[in-house]
Amino acid sequence: MAAASFTAAKFLAPVAARSGGERAPPLPAGAASSSSARALRRGGAHHPRLRTALAVSSDVLPGNKAAPAHPDVTREEALELYEDMVLGRVFEDMCAQMYYRGKMFGFVHLYNGQEAVSTGFIKLLNQADCVVSTYRDHVHALSKGVPARSVMAELFGKATGCCRGQGGSMHMFSAPHNVLGGFAFIGEGIPVATGAAFAAKYRHEVLKESGPDGLDVTLAFFGDGTCNNGQFFECLNMAQLWKLPIVFVVENNLWAIGMSHLRATSDPEIWKKGPAFGMPGVHVDGMDVLKVREVAKEAIERARRGEGPTLVECETYRFRGHSLADPDELRKPDEKTHYAARDPITALKKYIIEQNLGTESELKSIEKKIDDVVEEAVEFADASPHPPRSQLLENVFADPKGFGIGPDGKYRCEDPKFTQGTAQV
């Protein structure tokens, strides 16, 4: 297999006090040498199961030097990243308020703490590129450009939402933004993402419709719990077999609902599953948006060039429970404190100021702007109408009444009546 050019020495800081396992020992200096990387590929070296994962690619070139502590980023890029991450955090905090006030129903899964992954990947995409998400999908939609008011209205179940109120929290979809959906069951979205990548390659090679930049790229987001499911392995095989333009992004927040990743997986280093299928596998610190962005840029570019898929494991952490209905009693307090101290937004803010990429007042202006955007989104969602009952049968049956599409191009569906008295509960 041709060697990938992913940088060979990206390390996570040693993680202390992980629930579900013993303390992970610190990595020695130089632990990502080419010889140890070759041993990883051969499987000939012993690596304790609970140690901190090496942030190296599956194809480490001999002689590669360590990456800088942070990749270069321009002022404009840094401020864009900061604004997008703050939008995700403030939006999700507002969702929690609205949920507890009874404005949202069902399960609502928040993204707090994982913003570096969404921002680091999605802000590198073109409009024609696709994103496929999970039930923790609000921030992915926001990063791809879906307006905050459309996402909030969808969470409120209103007709002005991006799915006209029929998707709710776990099923964000926007055709204009190529957000192909959040999926409630783990692993569901991976085959959809693989199909989108196949369509992109078909358009490029058969229909000759691709743009000048190359192939349209699909990002498939999923969590650590998904990586033991069959769809994951089947789609990795298919994507590599056909060299599809897709990046498989594992948001490893160390917990699959209430199950510790270290207890549930025979080999917790998910990135190593990529080389088993012949594709690069990369592990990156998912709490550092600049490191995520560096890896994402390379993975997206190689997909766009037609070089095939990449598996990227982003080790991150969610700051809230699995959902807003989760009391979050299973994770140890010291584990949560450890990751709270590595807040990706706080870290980026510190970096921007230290590197003279922005001032404190500029960052406060961005925060004020985002507060206004989210407040307006709530007002818009609250004032928006509920969907009509006649919408219930749309997109369910092809032709429920035998009428189909009328001469005016509108869907002819009679009010089913059977929901009388229940639709507005």
φ/ψ region of 76 (left if φ > 0, alpha if ψ in -120 to 50, else beta) reads alpha
Residue carrying the six token digits 């992915």: 140
Give the H or E element holding residue 382.
Answer: helix 360-383
Mean pLDDT computed over 305-332: 95
Quick one: pLDDT at residue 198?
Answer: 96
- Using CA atoms, how far apart are residues 308 and 388, in angstroms rounded to an integer? 45
Say which range, 39-53, 151-165, 200-214, 220-234, has the weakest mean pLDDT. 39-53
Q: Which residues pair with 131 in a beta bridge?
A: 179, 219
Contacting residues for 130 by C-beta, under 8 A, at least 6 apart? 178, 179, 180, 193, 196, 197, 200, 216, 217, 218, 219
Residues making up the chain, counted from first to last: 425
Query: Using the 8-state DSSP alphabet, how is residue 237 labeled?
Result: H
Quick one: pLDDT at residue 211?
Answer: 79
Quick one: pLDDT at residue 209?
Answer: 87
Task: Write out the DSSP string of 140-160.
Answer: HHHHTT--HHHHHHHHTT-TT
Q: Are residues 376 and 400 in contact, defined by beta-carbon separation less than 8 angstroms?
A: no
- Using CA atoms, how far apart are residues 94 and 152, in angstroms rounded to an integer? 9
Query: Is 15 a residue whose pLDDT tops 90?
Result: no
Quick one: pLDDT at residue 26?
Answer: 36
φ/ψ region of 139 (left if φ > 0, alpha if ψ in -120 to 50, else beta) reads alpha
Query: Is 115 a residue whose pLDDT tops 80?
Result: yes
- Using CA atoms, how far apart are residues 242 and 114, in angstroms rounded to an integer? 31
User: Tokens at residue 36, please?
Assistant: 């140890």
Q: What is the pLDDT of residues 200-209, one digit of tens each?
A: 999 999 998 8
SS3 113: coil
Q: Is 273 exposed, middle or buried (0-12, 13-18, 19+ CB in 10 A)?
A: buried
SS3 99: helix
Say which range, 9-23, 58-72, 280-294, 325-339, has the weakest mean pLDDT. 9-23
Q: Are residues 217 and 300 in contact, defined by beta-carbon separation less than 8 angstroms?
A: yes
Quick one: pLDDT at residue 210?
Answer: 72
Mean pLDDT of the chain: 83
| Farthest CA pair distance, the chain | 72
Distances (CA, A) of 384 to 121, 164, 300, 343: 32, 11, 38, 34
What percentage of the chain has pLDDT greater than the value 90? 72
Task: Write out the DSSP string of 290-315.
Answer: HHHHHHHHHHHHHHHTT---EEEEEE
Q: What are phi and psi of 337, to 5 degrees?
A: -65, -40
Say what the pTM is: 0.81
Q: What are phi and psi of 281, to 5 degrees?
A: -125, 130
Strands (E), 225-362: 246-252, 255-256, 259-260, 281-285, 310-315
395/163: higher pLDDT: 163
Say which range, 60-69, 139-148, 272-281, has the weakest mean pLDDT. 60-69
Closest CA to 392 of 210, 240, 164, 192: 164
